[in-house]
Amino acid sequence: MTSTPRHSAVEVNGITLHIAEQGEGPLILLLHGFPESWYSWRHQFGPLAEAGYRVVAPDQRGYARSEQPGDPDAYSLLHLAGDVVALTRALGEEQAVVVGHDWGAPVAWVTAMLRPDVVRAVAGLSVPPVLPAGLATPQATRRRYGDGFYQVYFQQPGVADAELARDPASTFRRILFSGSGDSPSNNPPSPWIVPDGSTLIDSIPEPQQLPGWLTEDDIDAFVRDYAGHGERAFTGPLNWYRNIQRNHELLTAFQGRGIDVPALYVGGDRDMVMSLHGIKELLGSLETVAPKLHRSVVLPGCGHWTQQERPAEVNAALLDFLGHLRGPADHSSSGSAGRSTR
């Protein structure tokens, strides 16, 4: 077993995805969020691989080193769930445990909802299962938070794209720090709002010093991952937001469906997501949405970048969850997956 991830390209659904992979055993797919890449899981590869798992983290459709379809409509949750299924098959597996953070979490939850035959268990970091379509519509968030709410702001073609791509290193410093538990603005957390007359980047100050969990080498790694798309480096990722309304239209037939496989949720109490309307109520009723919920973990002092800010706690929660899974894909004892103890 290699001690560092190996990199390769995989063809899925007519596009090329870059993946990082380490270890052997039952397959675990790690799905990053915005604006990240496979590198956001750098602290998870070693511990999960050493525990006997095959760990694969793709750069998701439109992100970093993966291909960026030009059609904005090519980024719906049906496309993204399809990529998870196709990637599982391309890796020679029938099933995977799927773990997602930020935007990766809705992809993981929705794929588990649609394809429990492929997703044998699911974990979501930061974003709980807002089903069936992943996130509230732009119309709903505009009414509640105004035009400056970041998900509404992102709907404008070319605007945030240009701002974020102007100086990617500064972009990553600003966004990663501002969303962290180390940022004073997240104590308590509040929605990300671009003030009227301001720009996205101007509304996020550049930190004078990076927090202990984030280094300039980490910033450089993200910048290198995004360099191949030039001025369109963030257009693919932003197109995910531009499909939120469409996701609701495409997935309306699944209203009322839940998560039928074992599930885990991990978040931080200083995550901006915690301040959004309805999230606390949703967290209180997770077992209704996911009856096979193993645990719901909220980490004190942790911001949005869960697995980067608190790798030890996240790894422990994931390994505990995985340890309770039993099935033919495991090298351990056989038997069907059932409800885990809380």
d(CA 30, CA 210) in angstroms, rounded, equals 25
Q: Tell me the sheet residues that pair with 193.
A: 149
Output b/e per residue, 254-292; b: 16+ Cβ within 10 A: eeeebbebbbbbbbbbbbbbbebeebeebeeebeebbeb
Clarify whether 202 is annotated catalytic. no
What is each CA distance from 228 to 147, 205, 260, in whole angstroms? 31, 26, 39
Catalytic residue among 218, 294, 304, 330: 304
Q: Are 291 and 339 in contact (CB under 8 A)?
A: yes
Clarify whether 304 is annotated catalytic. yes
Closest CA to 272 of 171, 176, 153: 176
Count of Cβ atoms closer than 10 Å to residue 215 Cβ: 11
**Three-state secondary-structure class, residue 51:** coil
Catalytic residue among 59, 83, 102, 225: 102
Q: Which residues are identified as catalytic?
A: 102, 304
